[in-house]
Structure 1
Amino acid sequence: MFDAVRNNQRIVQIFLGLITLPFAFWGVDSYVRNSGAGSDVASVGDTKITVPQFDAALRERQDQMRQALGQNFRPEMLNTPDARLSVLNGMIDQRLLLIESSKNRLVTTDEALRDVIAKIPALQDDGKFSMEKYERVLRAQGMSQPQFEAKLRQDLTMRQLMGTVGDSAFVARAQADTVTNLQLEERQFNEFRFPAEQFLDKVKLAADAAQKYYDENKAQFEIAEQVKAEFLILSQDAIQSQATVSDAEVKSWYESHKDKYQQAEERRASHILIMAKSEGEKAAAKAKAEDVLKEVRKAPAKFAEFAKQYSQDPGSAKSGGDLGYFGRGSMVKAFEDTVFKQKEGEISDVLESEFGYHIIKLTGIKPGKVRSLDEVRADIESDLKRQTATRKFAEAAEAFNNMVYEQSDSLQPAAEKFKLKIQQSGWLKKNPDPREAAALGPFANEKILGALFSEDSIKGKRNTEAYEIAQNTLLAARVLEHVPASTKPFESVRTDIEKLLKLREAASLAQAAGEARLEELRKGGDDKLAWSASKQASRMAPRDLSPVAVRALFKADTQKLPAYVGASAGNGYAIYKIVKVGMPEKLDEARRQALRNEYTRILAQEELSAYVNALRARTKIDINTAVLESRESR
């Protein structure tokens, strides 16, 4: 059990599989008041959510969205009342859980904290924790070690409570199997379609139908105002790519920071653990450990065999008790102190820890050493370039903004000064829909588009100011071409409108014909349709069926087969003849278990949501709407 605890399986599971809090918009009308929070953003019970705390959370959410959306991210996404309220509700939920964790005296020990940090991949070098990387990552995030560890400790403590609540969601196997079977159930069917095209010759449009449609839907035929622009992007990454670092600078840094490149001594050990689950078991466990030690002393070369036979640590017993190499801070103190006093090959006396009684054999020693300059040169160069770029970008950003503003008739001066390439955009619409905006790359930003379509840019031919499009990334643009908004003339779209109206009417006729034939089949009429080859689908694997068709197929009463159902299908209508209902011939147990787990996860999330709602209901919460609405993401 000791190795399993050392690896902190439970906490790792919580990190990987814990239900995420549903930070959607809660029904908070009953909580929102303009009094009680003072100058703070909100109060939760006796605690406050301050303006700096809220601003920090807003920036953190902004950074998360920037990383997730990349070039599609726009800073103004969080500059709305609903978005800010969503962030605040997340903070309130976290605060409620922290208060409840404190009431339940939940804590995260130093050992658990160290173990979690050591397992973060970004802080590892060749699979092992690297203090150098740890410090470098924190510097890049602008955080001190105490700040990060305090935040992580708080998060781990809160997640203990969340995990406990989530684990309380019990799902009976029969219940889970019922839901799983519904997802896996397959229905075999044939299909017959009534395509709209077959009814086109029956459609007669009124003489003024196309004109009437055009007059009533002119917005569909508008050509949006558009511009084509040239632009410059100034980024910290670009400055970093231009930065150079001399060998003397690298060597100087290395000599003055050698302590950062010290690799601590590591030791490898094997152990035999006899567990004592309660005070009453201690005496018997210790006596057994003493007996095992006597056998080990007689045949020390068989330590691995004795570990496989006697050790109760499921994580290491099967490997002969081997715990691998580890440094100081990885084990509980009593165990660690013993290991680092032993000589290689030495076997300890019986040692007591919080997990039981250990017999330890030291099997290897890796002496501490200082990594050579050649080993760390690339990291040092990267760090120094990053530091230089961070400093230079702060200086360059202001100068860049001033230059594109003061020399507003051209981007060329700024391009030459900052060694940037002037780029050109495609045609940009004034008010693109969300899908179009997502494809605009650096121009997926309302402020930039607003600036480009301003009178200053179009008529004055001036540069826009520099806008932040990503962290440490600025863009300034200039209009090259402009096309005013217009409406396509009726004659140019008449044919398209007539085709659309005919197809719509034909689709209605196809549906009417299909529904009439479906009714005949359901009443026992002759089944002489030229059905398609047999197909099958499940809720999990609907094949090429539309959601409407899937709903129709799986809502059908299949007590008596064949059963007939119908649904819209593209530009037409389809009848489905269900001939067989069953389960897959080969049931993948792993897949079935994954579905059970997903169902359990959904119920656990609902359990957690209900728990947080209950905390909200019994806690006085005040939201200062005036302060909240005045904040903008930074």
Structure 2
Amino acid sequence: MLDFFRNHQRLMMLMLVLVIVPGLGVLGIQGFRGFFDESANVASVNGHKITRAEFDSAMRQQLDQARQFLGAQFDSKALDTPARRRDLLDNLIQQHALADEAQREYLTASDAAVRRALLADPVISSLRKPDGSIDVDRYKQLLAMQGMTPEQYDERVRYGLAVDQIPQSIEESAFTPKALADRISQLAEAQRTVQALVLHASDYASKVQPTDAQLSAYYAAHSADFATPATATIDYLVLSPAALATGVTPSDSDAKKYYDDNIAHYTTPREVRVSQILIASPKSASPADDAKAKAKADAVLAEVKAHPDQFAQIAQKESQDPGSAAKGGDLGWSTSGTLTGEKAFDTAAMALNKDEVSSVVHSSFGYHVIKVTDVKPAVTKPFDEVKASILKDLATELATKAYSDDSDGFTSTVYEQAKSLKPAADKYKLTIQTATVTTKPNPALPPASPLNNPKFLTAVFADDSVKSHNNTQAIDVGNSTLIAAHVTDYKSAATPPLASIKDAVRAKYVAEQADELARKDGEAKLAALQKSKSTAGFAAEQKVSRMDTQGVSPLALSAIFKADDSKLPAYVGVDLGNDGYAIYRVNAVVPPAPIDSARLAAAQRQLAQVDAQTQLEAYVESLRKRSKVKLYGSLDASQSDSQ
């Protein structure tokens, strides 16, 4: 079929024009593509699509956060794995299911909550001017770059806060009784004194002397284990921003312009350390009480001006703010001016210089006398210090744009010039690479390697590639990466004759038989020891607990703590598989020390967090089951549609 398309391109183009052009007037190009192509989406939840663009954006955000956290140790290949991508998709599905539930429950967030969330955003905080106010024009520019207005962003934040109410309510309601926390802590800290006797499988290998007849029988029964898979030697091209980065080089002037346009990103805003004296007068106060509070505040201000070096002592005596009075009124450092959420207070505080005292400031809490006790001026990093990172970011941005511009053309060239990758390599200045692949991902490669992508491997081993010797299509493997291949050599799957792999067959047979001998010998020794109660052959005693395993395997630790502590010494045996067989002599039980109130409270909090997480996962899972979830299989070939 593909050969027909390639050999009759003019005819096919005419047919496509006749069919497609009338439809574009109704659907638009993107709409028409989406009508047929579900590859633009990765999943849907209750009919709401999770688009490939949304998924890729979330993946980039995850990687950016990891890059900031890990710094020089960041490795995108180690983090962008099929398992992580499937976890991310699960998270997006959960978010959409939670969003639908929040909508059904009519959940929302107040204007005040939205304002607090916005001001707590570090990106928005970085837009602070020296006077503490937000650079509104720069804020609008940043949002415009993302295709949003401030009003739209406000609603996005409100939406997020509303959805968060569901998991927050579950987490806040979790509770662990003291008795349960105490019991679990005792179980975790309880110790048992044990001795180990390990029968290593390797010690039994010399006892296994297989005959040719035994090896032949073993080979016949396990021939599939020794089969060599089908292999393909390929030329391949990878189109990605990284592959195109060498062709884009931003200039120093580009970097300087970016620096000037984004100077706020390189400026540490002014910080002030603020102290206050509060004379409380809530909104519910009567006019007479409010007047008394105002007069009291005026008197306090007069006292502070008379004794400016005694502000802390006056605050301890007069301030009615329980959080700061004991600390001499100290509210700590602020870079944003959002000390209280009260505009009058924050504006007054940010306007003060070191050791200056404000006039009486009125807020919804009452009347404040404010003092700035220290100041850290705004500091802007010089251009030369950040030039290298700006050039790197600009190169990445240009390469990403080049990828966006070239991806369609690359796809067409690979398809139309089907007998070689050289035309595409020359056109897009890419290097043709070679590799040998099998139908299964190669564990020696990073999991995120394009060569391990299931869709790509399926295309490589398709008849059109192997028999017709055509290029594969340009396969989208995610993370803004396309890969295309041309098979230069193919070898079908085969089972080699016993004579050529006899040593490998022998090694596998000996290993399995040695494991079995160690297990049988171990079980026999265990039975004898349970009768004799001997200590012969055991290693020195050691104390183990569930929290401090001393290198004991989880399987063995489970057996040790299941031993009947009323009949000590007790003996337990554990099959360690390829490592042999282990016998443990349990000599004594060491009860844990009494748990003090602080440790018990910490254990309660930790267990409550675990319980909250478990409840939340169960809730989300039940919510997902109630939702109509469909996977389009665009992350890897193993996904299938489900309803």
Say yes or no: TM over 0.5: yes
* Mapped pair 1:272 → 2:276: yes
Q: Specify the alignment match of 1:109 in structure 2.
A: 113
Q: Specify the alignment match of 2:35 in structure 1.
A: none
Shift of 1:497: 4.0
Please state whether the residue corresponding to 1:599 is helix, strand or coil: helix
* Mapped pair 1:411 → 2:415: no
Whether the 8 Å contact between 1:72 and 1:444 is mirrored in structure 2 is: no
- The one-letter code matched in structure 2 to 1:274 is L
Please state whether the residue corresponding to 1:487 is helix, strand or coil: coil
Shift of 1:450: 2.0
* Mapped pair 1:396 → 2:401: no
Q: Specify the alignment match of 1:31 in structure 2.
A: none
Q: What is the root-mean-square deviation in Å for CA atoms of aligned residues? A: 5.1
Q: Specify the alignment match of 1:542 in structure 2.
A: 549
Whether the 8 Å contact between 2:275 and 2:331 is mirrored in structure 1 is: yes
* Mapped pair 1:564 → 2:574: no
Whether the 8 Å contact between 2:441 and 2:452 is mirrored in structure 1 is: no
CA distance in 2, matches of 1:258, 1:222: 60
Q: Specify the alignment match of 1:210 in structure 2.
A: 215
Please state whether the residue corresponding to 1:164 is helix, strand or coil: helix
Q: Specify the alignment match of 1:332 in structure 2.
A: 342
Whether the 8 Å contact between 2:356 and 2:372 is mirrored in structure 1 is: yes
Q: Specify the alignment match of 2:486 in structure 1.
A: 478
Residue deviations 1:301-344 (CA, integer Å, cap 9, x gap): 33244346655364796476254454566742121343466687
Q: Specify the alignment match of 1:25 in structure 2.
A: none
Change in Cα spacing, 1:290 to 1:336, as seen in structure 2 (3 Å) is same
Q: Specify the alignment match of 1:321 in structure 2.
A: 330
Please state whether the residue corresponding to 1:574 is helix, strand or coil: strand
* Mapped pair 1:601 → 2:599: no
Structure showing greater relative contact order (alpha-carbon pairs closer than 8 Å, 6 or more residues apart): 1
Q: Specify the alignment match of 1:223 in structure 2.
A: 228
Whether the 8 Å contact between 2:201 and 2:518 is mirrored in structure 1 is: yes
Shift of 1:220: 0.5
CA distance in 2, matches of 1:491, 1:101: 73
Shift of 1:225: 1.1
Whether the 8 Å contact between 1:74 and 1:444 is mirrored in structure 2 is: no
* Mapped pair 1:582 → 2:582: no
Shift of 1:276: 5.0
Whether the 8 Å contact between 1:71 and 1:444 is mirrored in structure 2 is: no
CA distance in 2, matches of 1:147, 1:476: 40
Change in Cα spacing, 1:352 to 1:441, as seen in structure 2 (3 Å) is same
Q: Map 1:100-499 onto structure 2 (within 5 A).
A: 100=105, 102=107, 109-118=113-122, 146-196=151-201, 208-246=213-251, 268=272, 270-274=274-278, 283=289, 289=297, 292-307=300-315, 311=319, 312=321, 314=323, 318=327, 321=330, 323-324=332-333, 326-327=335-336, 331-339=341-349, 346-362=356-372, 385=395, 388-425=398-435, 427-432=436-441, 435=443, 438-439=446-447, 441-494=449-502, 496-498=504-506
Shift of 1:156: 2.8
Shift of 1:453: 2.1
Whether the 8 Å contact between 2:315 and 2:329 is mirrored in structure 1 is: yes
TM-score relative to the length of structure 1: 0.72
Shift of 1:269: 5.8
Whether the 8 Å contact between 1:190 and 1:534 is mirrored in structure 2 is: yes
Shift of 1:260: 7.1
Moved more, 470-479 or 262-271: 262-271
Whether the 8 Å contact between 1:267 and 1:339 is mirrored in structure 2 is: no
Please state whether the residue corresponding to 2:540 is helix, strand or coil: coil
Identity of aligned residues (%): 29
Please state whether the residue corresponding to 1:109 is helix, strand or coil: helix
Change in Cα spacing, 1:251 to 1:609, as seen in structure 2 (3 Å) is closer
Residue deviations 1:139-194 (CA, integer Å, cap 9, x gap): 77666655444333322343344223212211233422321232233322112234
Please state whether the residue corresponding to 2:236 is helix, strand or coil: strand
Change in Cα spacing, 1:117 to 1:198, as seen in structure 2 (3 Å) is closer
Shift of 1:552: 0.7
Residue deviations 1:583-604 (CA, integer Å, cap 9, x gap): 6899999998876544221111
Whether the 8 Å contact between 2:82 and 2:448 is mirrored in structure 1 is: no
Residue deviations 1:350-391 (CA, integer Å, cap 9, x gap): 434344542112567899999998788668766765554444
- The one-letter code matched in structure 1 to 2:416 is E
- The one-letter code matched in structure 2 to 1:171 is T
Shift of 1:216: 2.8
Please state whether the residue corresponding to 1:540 is helix, strand or coil: coil
Segments of structure 2 that go 5 or more residues without pairing to the other structure are: 1-42, 67-74, 637-643
Change in Cα spacing, 1:98 to 1:582, as seen in structure 2 (3 Å) is farther
CA distance in 1, matches of 2:623, 2:421: 56
Segments of structure 1 that go 5 or more residues without pairing to the other structure are: 1-39, 44-48
Whether the 8 Å contact between 1:73 and 1:470 is mirrored in structure 2 is: no
- The one-letter code matched in structure 1 to 2:311 is F
Change in Cα spacing, 1:553 to 1:115, as seen in structure 2 (3 Å) is same
Shift of 1:118: 2.7
Moved more, 269-278 or 473-482: 269-278
Corresponding residue to 1:91 among 96, 101, 111: 96
CA distance in 2, matches of 1:590, 1:120: 39
- The one-letter code matched in structure 2 to 1:243 is V
Shift of 1:485: 1.5
Moved more, 209-218 or 380-389: 380-389
Whether the 8 Å contact between 2:269 and 2:378 is mirrored in structure 1 is: yes
Residue deviations 1:7-48 (CA, integer Å, cap 9, x gap): xxxxxxxxxxxxxxxxxxxxxxxxxxxxxxxxx9665xxxxx
Whether the 8 Å contact between 2:126 and 2:268 is mirrored in structure 1 is: no
CA distance in 2, matches of 1:594, 1:424: 56
Whether the 8 Å contact between 1:71 and 1:442 is mirrored in structure 2 is: no
Residue deviations 1:185-205 (CA, integer Å, cap 9, x gap): 332211223445666687787
Change in Cα spacing, 1:385 to 1:415, as seen in structure 2 (3 Å) is same
Please state whether the residue corresponding to 2:571 is helix, strand or coil: strand
- The one-letter code matched in structure 2 to 1:457 is S
Moved more, 58-67 or 191-200: 58-67
Whether the 8 Å contact between 1:266 and 1:328 is mirrored in structure 2 is: no
Moved more, 89-98 or 550-559: 89-98
Residue deviations 1:89-128 (CA, integer Å, cap 9, x gap): 542233324544727x7665243122321378999999x9
Whether the 8 Å contact between 1:183 and 1:539 is mirrored in structure 2 is: yes
Whether the 8 Å contact between 1:275 and 1:356 is mirrored in structure 2 is: yes
Q: Specify the alignment match of 1:527 in structure 2.
A: 534
CA distance in 2, matches of 1:191, 1:364: 63
Shift of 1:536: 3.2
CA distance in 1, matches of 2:267, 2:516: 76
Change in Cα spacing, 1:202 to 1:59, as seen in structure 2 (3 Å) is closer
Shift of 1:223: 0.3
